[in-house]
């Protein structure tokens, strides 16, 4: 297939009319201008992203109404971290 493309002059030199006089070139067709209300015009999509930087510890302290509830939530969160890290390690070992 590559040999056929290299033997074909069109791949190396372009179409033959480009080597001739511009008066012999094909006439350009005029492209219609589409209005915004046209069915074929796609509406512009917009997406916005915002970030919020906060201190997680301060958020937890202000969320829980008493020290005991905060303490229980922290214990629960700290107990789930080793479990999730173990499952990640298992996945890594299984992939190898």
For the segment 37-87, what is each residue's pLDDT rounded down to a tens digit? 888 887 888 888 887 777 777 887 888 888 898 888 888 888 877 665 565
User: 14: alpha, beta or left, given left = phi > 0 and alpha = psi -120 to 50?
Assistant: left
Q: What's the confidence (pLDDT) of residue 45?
A: 85
User: Higher confidence at residue 83 or residue 36?
Assistant: 36
Q: What's the confidence (pLDDT) of residue 83?
A: 62
Q: Which two tokens stand for residue 3?
A: 């040999």
Q: Which two tokens stand for residue 58?
A: 């301060």
50-86 core/surface letters (b: 16 or more CB in 10 A; e: else): eeeeeeeeeeeeeeeeeeeebeeeeeeeeeeeeeeee
pTM of this prediction? 0.30
Task: State the maximum Cα–Cα separation within the chain, in Å, rounded to a whole number.
Answer: 89
């Amino acid at each position: 297939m590559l040999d056929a493309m290299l033997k074909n002059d069109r791949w190396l030199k372009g179409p033959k009319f480009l080597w001739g006089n511009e008066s012999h070139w094909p006439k350009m067709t005029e492209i219609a201008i589409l209005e915004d209300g046209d069915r074929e015009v796609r509406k512009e999509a917009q997406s916005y992203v915002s970030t919020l930087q906060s201190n997680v510890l301060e958020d937890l302290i202000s969320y829980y109404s008493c020290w005991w509830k905060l303490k229980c939530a922290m214990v629960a969160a700290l107990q789930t971290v080793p479990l999730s890290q173990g499952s990640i390690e298992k996945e890594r070992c299984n992939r190898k």
